[in-house]
Amino acid sequence: MEKINDCLKGRDLLTLHDYTVDEVKLILQEAQRIKAMQKAGIPHPYLQGKTLGMIFQKSSTRTRVSFEVGMYQLGGYALFLSPKDIQMGRGESVADTARVLSRMLDGIMIRTFAQEEVEELAEYADIPVINGLTDRTHPCQILADFLTIQEHKGQLAGLKLAYVGDGNNIAHSLLYGCAKVGMDICVASPEGYQPDAQIVSQAKEDARTTGAKVEVVSDPVVAMQAADVVITDVWASMGQEAEQRERERAFAGYQVNSDLCAHAKPDFIFLHCLPAHRGEEVTAEIIDGPHSVVWDEAENRLHAQKAVMALLIQS
């Protein structure tokens, strides 16, 4: 078994903005290599005897299964920790939780609401902390997206990605990520739902290194022009259910359908982080059609996160 690169050993993964261009490329290279090993039936126990604590303040299908199965395939053990299982948020501070878990685990993955909670956990933990999702960013999803795009398009740099929908954690992490890999990105969101201005500014700054073009517009047709990759997400994320009706009205013109996709390149691919609401942010003919690669994308959560864990938590 080839030794894994140790340049990210002990690091946290809080946002892709914190990583260099070469570090993002390294994660994707390792994801490709580890995926190939798994498909070939070659054991790759890079984390033999290691333990990962998985804190879930928000439930998830893909995040839990990919981290838990991934840790097993890497030779380690994953421990699921729901809000009912730990004291964090019920009297014990995030800092104290970080100190305690650092004495017992080799790494922590947390899926929660506030980005600040992840950052505080990382500040006080002596072991790597991986952001499995916050309301602000979702770096693990975007690594899986890039792995999928690379597999289907053969490249990342020089492509154009159109994101249509809510300027949420997916949009934020795509902005960060595209800037790092040299992929042009145009985000189309209605006024009042556009990405955070600071994140857009940081992405534009990062893009100076790679030459990527970073745009935010309100017209989805503009975003879709000559797009190689089309991505959307639900209009109301977890915790925003009370805003569903209001958001349906605001996003009425932002559905990814055949009319809108006619403005993309003929060979565009469609991605969605899932779960999807067919008939809302995307029509069935798109997500279930020939341009869709969402099932490859979902599987690649496993391979991308195995690379992250192997690189960060290794002995």
Which residue ranges are tagged as binding site for L-ornithine? 169, 233, 237-238
Residue with tokens 């879709």, as numbered in its chain: 224
Binding region: 60-63, 87, 111, 138-141, 169, 233, 237-238, 273-274, 301
Q: Are 54 and 78 in contact (CB under 8 A)?
A: yes
Q: Which of 11, 44, 111, 172 is catalytic?
A: 111
Q: What angle in degrees, to the nearest 10, is found between the helix axes of 21-39 and 169-181?
A: 100
Binding-site annotation: residue ranges for carbamoyl phosphate: 60-63, 87, 111, 138-141, 273-274, 301
Calculate ∠ Cα 252-257-262, nearest 5°.
Answer: 120
Catalytic, 178? Answer no
**What is d(CA 14, CA 123) in angstroms, rounded to the nearest whole number?**
11
Exactly one of 272, 301, 303, 305 is catalytic; which is it?
301
Catalytic status, residue 138: yes
- Catalytic residue (choose from 73, 141, 255, 305): 141
Q: How far is the C-alpha of 45 from the C-alpha of 50, rounded, in Å? A: 10
Active site residue 278: no
141 classed as catalytic? yes
Q: How many CB atoms are located within 10 Å of the residue 313 CB?
A: 26
> Is 277 in the active site?
no
Q: Which two tokens stand for residue 151?
A: 């597999």
Question: CA-CA distance, 44 to 303, in Å (whole number)?
Answer: 12
> Looking at 178, 228, 233, 272, which residue is catalytic?
233
- Cβ atoms of 106 and 99 within 8 Å: the answer is no
Residue in 103, 127, 104, 146 with CA at minimum distance from that of residue 16: 146
Residues 6+ apart with CB under 8 A from 24: 16, 143, 146, 177, 180, 181
CA–CA distances in Å: residue 20 to residues 24, 207, 212: 6, 11, 15
* Alpha-carbon span 214 to 160, nearest angstrom: 10
Contact between 256 and 302 (Cβ < 8 Å): no
Q: Is 133 helix (H, G, I), strand (E, B) or coil?
A: strand
Which residue of the set 17, 136, 138, 303 is catalytic?
A: 138
* Active-site choice (273, 291, 303, 314): 273
Q: How many CB atoms lie within 10 A of CB 96?
A: 13
Asked about 64 being catalytic, the answer comes back as no
Dihedral angle computed from the Cα positions of residues 195, 196, 201 and 202, in that order, rounded to the nearest 10 degrees: -100
Q: Which residues are catalytic?
A: 111, 138, 141, 233, 273, 301
